[in-house]
């Protein structure tokens, strides 16, 4: 079993990354001593319940080196006399030559501080995300001679070059990723594909318990009872919310609907403007960030969940959005796209509906069909809940991580707990 493990993350806590918090909490419950190091200082306004359960201390690395020069200089002085420093510097120079970006200086400084401030009891480093956190973790691992591993997700897999990914995969001990599509892509790059394994994040089926029974009845005909459409996700390009707005505006005029969006994001102003230009503002509610209890209430009071994911222009895409798991756990019919790993969860026409990404006409047609057919929504919602229960409980993914971290609970033991939970 490892001693303490340092988890290196982009930011903490983040309401859009509760899957990381679930991993940390689940591993703590299994006896792993975790220390969290974050690369960025910002905190989300809404702190989720899961974050309050975590005991791990959090240390913030210098987000900008110039803001904490004494801290960086102290780390440099301590490390510059070691052989590992010059070996790490050579690796850093090689990376810089391949991608001459000034951000490399910040990552080297953060790695120095991380290596200098690691508690003595830490015996392993673990990065969440294969891009920036893994870059810093890799350098810190060379400086400290500690082994390291990684949890890869989505953006980090699809927005890096094969060269960048390969360099990290060659050096880490093991990597887990949360989709079969992502695992296959990384195995094709890795010199040793056995390092890569699949571990779905899953959700806590106790926390996302089956909702009270309710019969779907709204069909869009009654102006006093419009069909309630819900989306949860950051306002970023890959979520496709601009496509959704166009689709909503093109719905037949005899269909009565409302759309609620939950989430923050840099594209919120432009999405609001687009809704205004499409003259659908009166049907739209922008709730911003909300805590998990408020999101749960929205799942349970809505009729249809829509997440029109697509590939962004820089190649970024979703893996398997947790909000789809959450929505389906609440028997809410889901409409999404065939991007990435979403078909690993949603079987088109059986546990939800899938359309091609970026196609607002197909999206509008699918929405209209689901709005007008409450019995179909009911069937899809119940089948979606069954799918999540059978395949996407949190315990199976935690079993893989527990085994990787050499925790006492074996895969068999933890999967047995999952069967009891279900």
- Give 148-172 pLDDT, tens digit per residue: 999 999 889 999 999 999 999 999 9
399 and 417 inside one domain: yes
Same domain, 74 and 125: yes
The answer to whether the CB of 34 falls within 8 A of the CB of 405 is: no
Report the 10 Å Cβ neighbour count for 4: 16
- Reference 241, options 310, 289, 317, 155; nearest CA is 310
Same domain, 151 and 235: no
> Above 70 in pLDDT, residue 421?
no
Give me 250's structure tokens.
Answer: 């093109």
Same domain for 158 and 177, yes or no, is: yes
Residues above pLDDT 70, as percent of the chain: 95
Q: pLDDT band at residue 422, thresholds of 50, 70 and 90?
A: very low
| Tens digits of residue pLDDT in 258-289 | 999 999 999 999 999 999 999 999 999 999 99
Whether 313 has a pLDDT exceeding 50, the answer reads yes
Q: Taking the complete model, does pTM exceed 0.85, yes or no?
A: no
> 196: part of which helix (H) or strand (E)?
strand 196-198
pLDDT of residue 42: 60
pLDDT for the residue numbered 129: 96
User: What is the overall mean pLDDT for the chain?
Assistant: 92
Q: What is the pLDDT of residue 2?
A: 56
Q: How confident is the model at residue 413 (pLDDT cuts 50, 70, 90)?
A: very low
Tokens of 400: 């893989």
Q: Give the H/E segment covering residue 414.
A: helix 411-421
Report the first-to-last Cα separation within the chain, whole angstroms: 28
Domain membership of residue 306 (yes or no) is: yes
Residue 412 has pLDDT above 70, yes or no: no
The Cα–Cα gap between 139 and 143 comes to: 6
Asked if residue 60 belongs to a domain, the reply is yes
Beta strand 122-128 with 58-60: parallel, antiparallel or unpaired?
Answer: unpaired
> What is the per-residue pLDDT across 102-111, written as a single tens digit (0 to 9) for each?
899 999 999 9
User: Look-up: residue for tokens 């739209």?
Assistant: 284
108/68 same-domain check: yes
Return the CATH number at 22.
Answer: 3.40.50.2000
Residues 387 and 403 reside in one and the same domain: no
358-383 burial string, b = 16+ CB within 10 Å, else e? bbbebbbebbbebbbbbebbbebbeb
Using DSSP, how many helices (H) and how many strands (E) does the chain show?
18, 13
Query: Any residues with CB less than 8 A from the CB of 169 and at least 6 apart, and which?
Result: 175, 186, 189, 190, 191, 192, 195, 196
Nearest to 324 by CA among 312, 310, 341: 341
Do residue 73 and residue 24 come from a single domain?
yes
Q: Is 332 inside any structural domain?
A: yes
Least confident range of 62-76, 128-142, 391-405: 391-405
Q: Are residues 250 and 306 in the same domain?
A: yes
Backbone angles phi, psi at 35, to 5 degrees: -120, 130
Q: Are residues 183 and 235 in the same domain?
A: no
Q: Could you tell me if residue 216 is inside a domain?
A: no
Overall size of the chain counted in residues: 422
At residue 99, the pLDDT reads: 87
> 300 in helix, strand or coil?
helix
In a domain, 313, yes or no: yes
Range of the domain at 287: 227-391
90 plus 63 within the same structural domain:
yes
258 vs 213 pLDDT, higher one: 258
Peptide bond into 283 cis (omega under 30): no
The 10s digit of each residue's pLDDT in 47-82 is 778 888 999 999 999 999 999 999 999 999 999 999
- 34 and 141 both lie in a single domain: yes
Query: CA-CA distance, 255 to 327, in Å (whole number)?
Result: 23
Give CA angle at 255 (253, 259), nearest 5°: 105
Instruction: Lay out the sheet containing 196-198: strands in order across.
Output: 58-60, 34-38, 4-9, 122-128, 148-152, 175-177, 196-198
For residues 328 and 306, the answer to whether their CB atoms sit within 8 Å is no
DSSP 91-129: HHHHHHHHS--THHHHHHHHHHHHHHH--TTEEEEEEES
Helix (H, G, I), strand (E, B) or coil at 241: helix
Domain assignment present for residue 166? The answer is yes
Least confident window among 261-265, 333-337, 407-411: 407-411
pLDDT exceeds 60 at position 201: yes
The yes-or-no verdict on residue 121 having pLDDT over 60 is: yes
Summarised one tens digit per residue, pLDDT across range 291-306 is 889 999 999 999 999 9
Q: Is residue 205 within 8 Å of 325, Cβ to Cβ?
A: no
Q: Which pLDDT value is given to residue 397?
A: 87
In a domain, 218, yes or no: no
Instruction: State the pLDDT at residue 147.
Output: 96
Residue 219 lies in a domain: no
Strand order in 257-262's β-sheet? 284-288, 257-262, 227-232, 304-306, 334-337, 353-355
What was the pLDDT predicted at 207? 87
Domain identity same for 109 and 255 = no
Decide if 284 contacts 261 (C-beta within 8 A): yes
In this structure, how many other beta carbons lie within 10 angstroms of the beta carbon of residue 68? 16
User: Residue 296 — φ and ψ, nearest 5°?
Assistant: -60, -45
Residue 223, H or E segment: none
Structural domain count of the chain: 2
């Amino acid at each position: 079993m490892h001693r303490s493990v340092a988890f290196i993350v982009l930011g903490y806590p983040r309401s859009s990354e509760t899957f990381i918090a679930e991993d940390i909490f689940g591993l703590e419950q299994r006896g792993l001593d975790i220390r969290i190091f974050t690369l960025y200082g910002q905190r989300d306004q809404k702190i989720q319940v899961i974050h309050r359960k975590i005991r791990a201390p959090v240390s913030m690395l210098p987000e900008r080196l110039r803001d904490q020069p004494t801290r960086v200089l102290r780390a440099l002085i301590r490390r510059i006399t070691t052989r590992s420093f010059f070996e790490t510097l050579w690796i850093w120079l090689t990376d810089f030559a391949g991608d001459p970006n000034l951000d490399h200086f910040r990552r080297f400084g953060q790695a120095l501080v991380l290596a200098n401030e690691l508690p003595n009891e830490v015996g392993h480093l673990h990065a969440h995300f294969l891009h920036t956190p893994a870059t810093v973790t890799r350098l810190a691992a060379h400086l400290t001679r500690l082994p390291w591993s990684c949890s890869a997700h989505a953006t980090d897999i699809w927005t890096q070059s094969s060269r960048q990914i390969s360099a990290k995969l060659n050096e880490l001990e093991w990597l887990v990723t949360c989709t079969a599509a992502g695992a296959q892509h990384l195995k094709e790059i890795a010199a040793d594909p056995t390092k890569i394994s699949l571990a779905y994040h899953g959700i806590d089926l106790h926390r996302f318990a089956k909702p009270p029974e309710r019969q779907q009845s709204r069909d869009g005909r009654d102006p006093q009872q419009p069909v309630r459409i819900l989306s949860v996700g950051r306002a970023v390009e890959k979520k496709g919310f601009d496509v959704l707005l166009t689709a909503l505006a093109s719905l037949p005029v005899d269909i009565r609907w409302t759309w609620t969006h939950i989430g923050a994001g840099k594209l919120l102003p432009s999405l609001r403007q687009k809704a205004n230009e499409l003259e659908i503002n009166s049907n739209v509610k922008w709730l911003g960030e909300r805590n998990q209890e408020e999101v749960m209430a929205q799942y349970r009071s809505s009729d249809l969940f829509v997440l029109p994911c697509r590939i962004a222009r820089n190649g970024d895409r979703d893996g398997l959005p947790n909000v789809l798991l959450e929505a389906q756990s609440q028997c809410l019919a889901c409409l999404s796209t065939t991007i990435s790993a979403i078909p690993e969860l949603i079987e088109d026409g059986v546990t939800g509906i899938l359309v091609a990404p970026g196609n607002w006409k197909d999206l509008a047609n699918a929405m209209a069909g689901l709005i007008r057919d409450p019995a179909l929504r009911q069937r899809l919602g119940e089948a979606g809940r069954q799918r999540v229960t059978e395949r996407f409980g949190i315990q199976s993914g935690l079993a893989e991580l527990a085994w990787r971290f050499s925790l006492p609970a074996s895969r068999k033991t933890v999967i047995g707990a999952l069967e009891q939970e279900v």
